[in-house]
């Protein structure tokens, strides 16, 4: 158990550099705040592998579309300091928009390929915003490792590809999704749902498990795998489905699948006005590929 601590709050690059001057192994956990148990798991993993743990809290306007929830995205810095400290963070970096995007800012990062389908198609420009802010945070903090939740599987793929392509000297670590007892993946956006809404939203994880179960029975045709999940979703009238699909490590959809640890089933849907995403490995018991994009 990590001893609770009070993280130092820093808001500028100058304060951040001064706080990191002592060196040692640095772990970074980039977040948009409103921290929950899922974020705590990332911080705990970083704590176990680092001398200094930095949690960034920045609601990045560049990854929100014009009709998305930037203005109402939940924010609570006091809560964030408490969760981060209890999980073992040393520093909480909370820059303002003017720090990250000063007047005249004109640079954007685009990652091709893995960013283009699914979330990239549904939310144009989203992954440009993600890649840009993550690259800035990696440059500001200079971590040995940066930790991301597997709930945002495509985001994780985008960050890994960017780091590989640009020779960024940081290891990107994916940490398994944390779930409610119902199976609902933890997300800051769950706060938009009523308790009943959260219980009903667990239908998404049940649909993913139905696809897993079909694969474990030997099904390899992705149309039939997908149908197993659609049959579950059909029982919940509040589901407005964006996609339910099976992809490989390159985020490309497959017509047939083999026993590959990087094959994943992903879902995105609106329920009660809230857009939710989730995913599971198609074969959860297969070991990950050491050194590959799935590590």
Does the residue 41 lie in any domain? yes
Instruction: Please count the structural domains in the chain.
Output: 2
- The pLDDT value recorded for residue 293 is 44
271 in the same domain as 221: yes
Whether 17 and 159 map to the same domain: the answer is yes
Q: Which of 201, 184, 160, 200 is nearest to 280 (CA)?
A: 184
| Shared-domain flag, residues 60 and 200 | no
In a domain, 137, yes or no: yes
Write down the pLDDT at residue 291. 37
Domain shared by 200 and 145, yes or no:
no
In a domain, 290, yes or no: no
**17-35: b (≥16 Cβ within 10 Å) or e:** eebbeeeeebbbbbbbbbb
Regarding whether 208 and 102 lie in a shared domain, the answer is no
- By CB neighbour count within 10 A (0-12 exposed, 13-18 middle, 19+ buried), where does 215 fall? buried
Range(s) of the domain holding residue 232: 188-281
In degrees and rounded to multiples of 5, residue 210 shows phi and psi of -65, -40
Kindly report the pTM of this predicted structure: 0.95
Residue 94 bears catalytic tag: no
Answer yes or no: is 3 within a domain: no
User: 157 with 240, same domain?
Assistant: no
CATH of the domain at 162: 3.40.50.620
Residues 168 and 195 in one domain: no
pLDDT, tens digit only, all 295 positions of the chain: 556 779 999 999 999 999 999 889 999 999 999 999 999 999 999 999 999 999 999 999 999 999 899 999 999 999 999 999 999 999 999 999 999 999 999 999 999 999 999 999 999 999 999 999 999 999 999 999 999 999 999 999 999 999 999 999 999 999 999 999 999 999 999 999 999 999 999 999 999 999 999 999 999 999 999 999 999 999 999 999 999 999 999 999 999 999 999 999 999 999 999 999 999 999 999 886 533 444 3
User: In angstroms, what is the C-alpha Rg of the chain?
Assistant: 19
User: At 238, which CATH number?
Assistant: 3.30.1300.10
Shared domain for 134 and 256, answered yes or no, is no
The active-site residue, picked from 36, 39, 94, 126, is 39
Is the same domain home to 28 and 165?
A: yes
């Amino acid at each position: 158990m990590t001893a609770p601590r009070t993280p130092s709050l820093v808001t500028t690059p100058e304060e951040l550099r001064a706080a990191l001057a002592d060196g040692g192994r640095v772990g970074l956990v980039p977040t948009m705040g409103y921290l929950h148990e899922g974020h705590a798991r990332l911080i705990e993993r970083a704590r176990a592998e680092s001398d200094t743990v930095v949690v960034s809290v920045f609601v990045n306007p560049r990854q929100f579309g014009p009709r998305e929830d930037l203005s109402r995205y939940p924010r609570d810095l006091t809560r964030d300091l408490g969760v981060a400290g209890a999980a073992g963070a040393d520093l909480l970096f909370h820059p303002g928009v003017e720090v990250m995007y000063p007047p005249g800012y004109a640079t954007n990062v685009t990652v091709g390929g893995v960013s283009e389908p699914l979330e990239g198609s549904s939310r144009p420009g989203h992954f440009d915003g993600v890649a840009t802010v993550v690259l800035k945070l990696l440059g500001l903090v200079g971590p040995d490792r940066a930790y991301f939740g597997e709930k945002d599987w495509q985001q994780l793929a985008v960050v890994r590809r960017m780091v590989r392509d640009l020779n960024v000297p940081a290891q990107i670590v994916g940490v398994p999704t944390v779930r409610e007892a119902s199976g609902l993946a933890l997300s800051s956006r769950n706060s938009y749902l009523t308790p009943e809404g959260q219980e009903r939203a667990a239908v998404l994880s049940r649909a993913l498990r139905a696809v897993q179960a079909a694969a474990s029975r030997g099904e390899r045709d992705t149309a039939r795998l997908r149908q197993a999940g659609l049959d579950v979703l059909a029982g919940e009238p509040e589901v407005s489905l964006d996609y339910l699909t099976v992809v490989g490590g390159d985020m490309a959809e497959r017509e047939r699948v083999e026993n590959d640890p990087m094959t994943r089933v992903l879902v995105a849907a609106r329920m009660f006005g809230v857009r939710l995403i989730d995913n599971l490995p198609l074969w959860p018991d297969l070991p990950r590929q050491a050194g590959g994009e799935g590590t």
